[in-house]
Amino acid sequence: MKRWEAVRSAILSDIDAGAFEDGRLPGDLVLAERFGVNRHTVRNAIKALESEGALRVQHGVGTFVADDFVSHRLNCDPRFTYKLLSQNKSLQREILSINEISVETDIAKRLNIAPLALVTEVRWVSFINDQPLATGSSYFPIDRVPDLAATFGRVKSFTAALKRCGIPEYKRKWIRITARRPTQQEAQRLRISSSSPVLFETNVDVTPDGLPIKYAFNVIRSDRYEYLIETNE
C-alpha cells in the first residue's frame, strides 16, 4: 500500500468514528506530522477522498467532512439506519409505493416461496441530508410477514415494521454487489447523469432459523457510498 493510500484509509476511519466533531480536518502540516509523511502525501490522500465524495475542500477556508458520504461495514447485521447513527448521519426514506403483487419466478426462488405467491412490494428512495443516496425495491412474503403494508406506512423503518409484524430479530443471509449504469428512471431519482456508474446490490434477510423474510435490490450512488470489508487478521 502506498503512503497516501494508508493516510486515506486512516482519515476515512476517523470520519467513520466521528473524530472530527466540528466536521473540519486539521491542516496539512498537522496531518503530515501525525502520519509521519510530507504535505504532498497528505494532499494526495485528501484529493482522493474529495473525488470519492468523502471530503469537501473549500480553498482558503479548509477541508470538511462531506455529511452525505456513507461508509458501510459489511456483516450479517442488516440494520442500515443503526449503522448510520454510529456515523452521526440520519436517513430519510420516501416511500414511492406499497403494493401486494404476485411474485416473479426469480424473486420467488430467492424467498423460497411458490411462483405467483403474494408478496408485499415496497419501492423507495433514501436520502442523507436531503440528498438522494439510493433507490430500490424490497419484497416480503405475505404469509410470513402479514400486515406489513399498513405497518410500514406508519413507521417507515423495515426493522420497526418487522418487529411489529412479529419478527423481532433477523439477519442478512447474503449480499451481492455489482456495478452498472442507472436506468433513466433511477438516474432521475438519484439526481445523477445516466452515464454515472451506480452500485447495484441484491440481498436476502432471514429469521434466526433461516426462513427468508425479505429480498431486496438497491441502486446506490457510487460517489457517496462505499463498502468496508474488515478481516480478523
pLDDT at 58 over 80: no
Rounded CA separation 17/15 (Å): 5
Instruction: Answer for the pair 93, 156: CB distance below 8 angstroms, yes or no.
Output: yes
Write out pLDDT tens, residues 69-109.
Answer: 677 778 788 876 555 655 556 778 899 999 999 998 999 99
Tell me the pTM: 0.73
Burial class (CB in 10 A: 0-12, 13-18, 19+), 170: buried
Instruction: Answer for the pair 214, 60: CB distance below 8 angstroms, yes or no.
Output: no
Selection from 65-69, 85-89, 206-210 with the highest mean pLDDT: 206-210
Q: Please, what's the b/e burial string for 89-114 (b: 16 or more CB within 10 A of its CB; e: otherwise)?
A: bebebeeeebeeeebeeebbebbebe
The number of beta carbons lying within 10 Å of the beta carbon of residue 41 is 21
